[in-house]
Amino acid sequence: MKKRVTGLGGIFFKSTDSKASKAWYAKHLGLPVDEYGCTFWWKDAQGKKASTHWSPFESDTTYFEPSEQPFMVNFRVENLNNLITVLKSEGVTIVGDIQTFDYGKFAWILDPEGNKIELWEPIDSAFEN
């Protein structure tokens, strides 16, 4: 298997008021936020358009479970199905099943300290206007 992670897909964190957090980051740091957060566009090593997402979640979200941390990192990956097979064989804890949406496939793992990591095989064109 060649590359596993191809880039940073997103940074997600819990916030006591996600709306206020987005407004603060928009006002003071100029992030072009929407209801989900902010999308940063860049080009990958092959020159293809790629994205990284920043998003505050409400503090009571269960999306980061079973991790107890107030954050989750999302990594962009190639061939998620094969990667999950390899990670299982290496003894990595897999959380749930692969889920597919019109903007890509997702899977979740835990690192040795119990941090939940989201793995994303993106379809970046789904985010273009």
CATH number of the domain to which 122 belongs: 3.10.180.10
Determine the Cα angle at 105 with ends 103 and 106, to 5°.
Answer: 115
Run of H or E residues at 105: strand 104-110
How far is residue 118's CA from residue 104's CA, in Å, rounded to a whole number?
12
Per-residue confidence of the chain (129 residues) as pLDDT tens digits? Answer: 566 898 999 999 999 999 999 999 999 999 999 999 999 999 888 888 899 999 999 999 999 999 999 999 999 999 999 999 999 999 999 999 999 999 899 999 999 999 999 999 998 776 665
Spatial separation of the C-alpha atoms in residues 74 and 87, rounded to whole Å: 16
Tell me the pTM. Answer: 0.89
Range of the domain at 114: 5-127
Count of structural domains within the chain: 1
